[in-house]
Amino acid sequence: MLNFELNDNQRMIRDMIRDFAIKEVEPVAAELDESMGFPEEAIKKLAQLGILGMTVPPEYGGQGMDALSYSIVVEELSRVCASTGITVAAAISLGIGPILLNGNEEQKQKWLPDLAAGKSMGAFGLTEPGAGSDAGGCRTTAIREGDEFVVNGTKQFITNAGHASVITITAKTDPSARRGHGISAIVVPTDTPGFKLGTKENKLGIRASETYELIYEDCRVPVANLLGEQDTGFQTFMKTLEGGRISIGAMALGIAQGALDKAAVYAQEREQFGKPIAGFQAIGNMLADMATEIEAARHLVYNAARLKDAGRPFGKEASMAKLYASEVASRAASKAIQIHGGYGYTKEYPVERYYRDAKLCEIGEGTSEVQRIVIARQVLKEYVL
């Protein structure tokens, strides 16, 4: 595999996490998938290694590392267990992201050190039962009463909510404003009276990543928990998602690479017609297509991360990386099952888990259809007549 011109730190982090993933994450991945168990031990150890705070500046207790290193961490974890990959990605880019992006100094000092140390997690509550792709159709309200907001509403599909101490949510602070307007980003601690976890989803894939419904009933939050200006929270969330899309791209890339890892080994071990199936051109073609698409996906994901690190616009590239890598992951996992034949369809081999996990990448943080809308909008801006 190409080195993709990583610097010494990036190579070091990649090798460290690759080793950690093989020793600590892979051995329990199938069991956690089956039981829907949270990867407690791995997350605890990753927190001790400083990974949960890797993108947080040192003044708030983090490591101040770049987006490419972070993407590589998500990729390497997802290569053996996508549930662990997304748990880390959601904690960093969705839990910490909005506070880092739009918090004032006091808010950063208050929440970031614990989140960076992994003493607790943050989560991101945008989606609602009636507002998914149409996230601007938010119905949760936060009505100001003196120094407090009174929050009422329901959020849907929120990753890491069961382990979160704070969840940044979108809520309509101006209910009379039109769709996508009058929305604020508010940090709601999970010990606030009036907040409770709803149903935990029983999912097709990434089953060891927890996904919850959130219920807010007259939940009173200090106005000091508002991130940025009132009524501008939708923009904070959209900006957070731009970065989040790089990590879903990295997660998809890891799944695709993991599927190729397993398929390339199996193809050389399994014999039919008196020789390893790797010797049949049909199998070689599948491996070649997988490897080629993975290489292209890696370029897209690393390029988006590098643009972010350079402080340049990266929205279109993040969407391209997420869109392409997600579809590559689904194709690669499908081919990996095909190469394993009937055994690939059983839980004896991990490729069926990769296949189930890959599908989420085409849905979470904006479906493939939404990514195409975002990309097309940008492309058309480049061709203004």
Residues annotated as catalytic are 365
In this complex, which beta carbon is closest to ligand FAD, that of residue 123 or of residue 287?
A: 123
Two tokens, residue 378: 């940008």
Cβ contact 75:250 at 8 Å? yes
In this complex, which beta carbon is closest to ligand FAD, that of residue 90 or of residue 250?
A: 90
Residues found near ligand FAD in the complex (CB under 6 A): 90, 94, 123-127, 132-133, 157-159, 203, 206, 211, 360, 363-367, 369-370
Distance CA 336, CA 290 (A): 9
In this complex, which beta carbon is closest to ligand FAD, that of residue 211 or of residue 334?
A: 211
Shortest distance (Å) from residue 213 CB to ligand FAD: 11
In this complex, which beta carbon is closest to ligand FAD, that of residue 37 or of residue 276?
A: 37
Q: Which amino acid is at 367?
A: T
Cβ contact 90:75 at 8 Å? no
**Beta-ladder partners of 150:** 143, 220
> CA distances (Å), 278 to each of 203, 275, 335, in order?
34, 8, 13
Closest C-alpha among 85, 3, 106, 92 to residue 42? 85
Shortest distance (Å) from residue 124 CB to ligand FAD: 5
Pairing of strands 195-200, 211-222: antiparallel
Shortest distance (Å) from residue 121 CB to ligand FAD: 11
Distance CA 256, CA 290 (A): 8
Shortest distance (Å) from residue 373 CB to ligand FAD: 6
Q: 80 φ, ψ to 5°?
A: -115, -30
